[in-house]
């Protein structure tokens, strides 16, 4: 029996490692990732059911619950349901026991998993272990009840074996699986963060060595151009040329300022900031820019929320993200701005109803020189990420193509 349990755990871990290795080698195939998760989870379930643990009393156990649970909690409804159908269809031919009761019990467990999925995704590693252990214990209740109906006499003679097979071994195997998934995902996030930090460092060095030298001659050229424009003998056509050149010089200066903001350390006088007032002030500042682009800013924040930081940096953060949202929004649309409280943090939500972003674009957001706009350096959003990280915060992006994007800025709240 011990060997059979080891085979079950080996099957679960081996095929799971193959799936995680495949997703690591093909990170850009986001849609195919869920198809392969369905495939690998279904394969694990079939193998677990094909080589179960058989007790002397005639009771059969396996670890199909673990890949089935992974399909819902890591893949969602559209991965979990097809996996469930595969499990039921194969189980009907292999087990053929009380299929009606099994379907009923699994529906209850599915509802429970869908209820906890959002919290599961946002939870720490230890809390994920608690959530998955709760799913297993709920499953155990139904399994023990089913065994009591069909094998009531055998249960009393195999209490230790059943407790090991139903409760202890699946929970230990589940901990191994969750640890493996979370460790590999954390390692991937760390690798991406290191790559992003390295790029930011390179850009910062480039900015420090070049930006000042380039900005000085631009300032001189712009000054002489402004003097030439005052020449009354110059024709209107040349005035237009000079104005166009001045606008392009302003754009070049803006790009250089973006570089310089990367090279600078996070400076500024640290003070207690009323983020509600600051958000309302930024909305008023950008009102004319939004109006020109046919966008209305709707600030819902009323209650005062406070953080500790540099008001200049926080204003720059809000201006950059709201300005990006205005530029991404269609004509005659609205942007919703709000601040919420979550435990010891505040959440600043900036939502537009524009073109939206793909999963690949969300993953690359904040990387140097990456932008979804036709013109732009991609440095503005990277500066936003730097500001938020400097104050131990996070930026989370929720988006759907052709439906819009929501930026959530999470910062530690100051409660005095």
Q: Could you tell me the pLDDT band of residue 277, with boundaries at 50, 70 and 90? A: very high
The confidence score (pLDDT) of residue 258 equals 63
pLDDT of 254 strictly over 60:
yes
Candidate CATH numbers 3.30.565.10, 3.40.50.300, 3.40.640.10, 2.60.40.790; the one for domain 270-412: 3.30.565.10
Interstrand relation of 404-412 and 394-400 (parallel, antiparallel or unpaired): antiparallel
Distances (CA, A) of 73 to 16, 128, 231, 270, 291: 14, 10, 71, 41, 43
Contact 37, 141 (CB under 8 A): no
Q: Which of 93-107, 132-146, 204-218, 328-342 has the highest mean pLDDT?
A: 328-342
Position 339 scores a pLDDT of 93
Residue 370 has pLDDT above 70, yes or no: no
Reading the block at residue 40, the tokens are 């690998």
Look at 147-161, 295-309, 357-371, 397-411 and tell me which has the smallest mean pLDDT.
Answer: 147-161
Q: What is the mean pLDDT of residues 343-347?
A: 89
pLDDT(397) > 80: yes
Question: Could you tell me the two tokens for 195?
Answer: 């790559």
pLDDT of 30 reads 60
Q: List the chain domain ranges.
A: 2-194, 196-263, 270-412
Please name the residue that has the structure tokens 């005052």: 230
Query: Mean of the pLDDT values across residues 380-391?
Result: 84
Confidence at 347, pLDDT banded by 50, 70, 90:
very high
Q: Report the predicted TM-score, pTM, of the whole model to 2 decimal places.
A: 0.59
pLDDT of residue 351: 93
Q: Look at 128 and 217; give whichever has higher pLDDT.
A: 128
Among 127, 126, 34, CA closest to 83:
34
Q: What is the residue-wise DSSP string for 182-209?
A: HHHHHHHHHHHHHHHHHHHHHHHHHHHH
What is the pLDDT confidence band of residue 375, given thresholds at 50, 70 and 90?
low
Average pLDDT estimate for 285-297: 88
What is the DSSP secondary structure assignment for residue 229, as one 8-state letter? T
What local confidence, expressed as pLDDT, does residue 274 receive?
A: 92
Instruction: State what percent of residues in the chain have pLDDT above 70.
Output: 77
């Amino acid at each position: 029996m011990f060997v059979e349990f080891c085979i079950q755990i080996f099957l679960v871990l081996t095929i799971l490692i193959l799936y995680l290795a495949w997703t690591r080698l093909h990170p850009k195939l986001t849609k195919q990732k869920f198809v392969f998760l369905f495939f690998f989870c279904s394969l694990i379930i079939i193998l677990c059911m094909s080589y179960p643990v058989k007790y002397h009393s005639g009771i059969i156990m396996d670890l199909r619950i673990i890949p089935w649970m992974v399909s819902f909690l890591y893949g969602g409804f559209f991965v979990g349901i097809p996996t469930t159908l595969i499990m039921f269809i194969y189980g009907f031919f292999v087990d053929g026991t009380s299929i009606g009761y099994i379907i009923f019990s699994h529906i209850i467990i599915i509802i429970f998993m869908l209820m906890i999925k959002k919290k599961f995704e946002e939870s720490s590693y230890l809390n994920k272990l608690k959530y998955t252990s709760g799913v297993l214990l709920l499953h155990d209740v139904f399994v023990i009840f089913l065994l009591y109906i069909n094998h009531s006499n055998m249960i009393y003679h195999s209490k230790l074996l059943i407790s090991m097979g139903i409760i202890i071994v699946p929970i230990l195997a589940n901990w191994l699986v969750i640890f493996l998934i979370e460790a590999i995902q954390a390692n991937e996030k760390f690798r991406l963060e290191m790559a992003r930090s390295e790029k930011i460092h390179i850009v910062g060095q480039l900015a420090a060595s070049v930006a000042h030298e380039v900005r000085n001659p631009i300032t001189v050229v712009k000054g002489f151009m402004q003097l030439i424009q005052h020449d009354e003998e110059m024709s209107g056509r040349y005035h237009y040329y000079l104005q166009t050149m001045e606008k392009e010089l302003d754009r070049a200066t803006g790009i250089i300022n973006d570089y310089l903001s990367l090279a600078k350390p996070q400076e500024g006088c640290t003070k207690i900031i009323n983020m509600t007032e600051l958000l309302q002030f930024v909305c008023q500042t950008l009102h004319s820019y939004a109006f020109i682009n046919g966008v209305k800013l709707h600030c819902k924040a009323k209650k005062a929320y406070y953080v500790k930081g540099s008001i200049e940096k926080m204003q720059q953060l809000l201006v950059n993200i709201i300005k990006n949202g205005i530029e991404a929004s269609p004509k005659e649309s609205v942007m919703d701005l709000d601040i919420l409280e979550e435990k010891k943090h505040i959440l600043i939500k900036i939502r537009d109803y524009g073109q939206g972003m793909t999963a690949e674009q969300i993953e690359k957001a904040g990387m140097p020189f990456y932008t979804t706009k036709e013109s732009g350096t991609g440095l503005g959003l990277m500066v936003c990420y730097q500001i938020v990280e400097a104050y131990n915060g996070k930026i989370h992006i929720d988006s759907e193509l052709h439906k819009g994007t929501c930026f959530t800025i999470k910062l530690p709240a100051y409660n005095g």
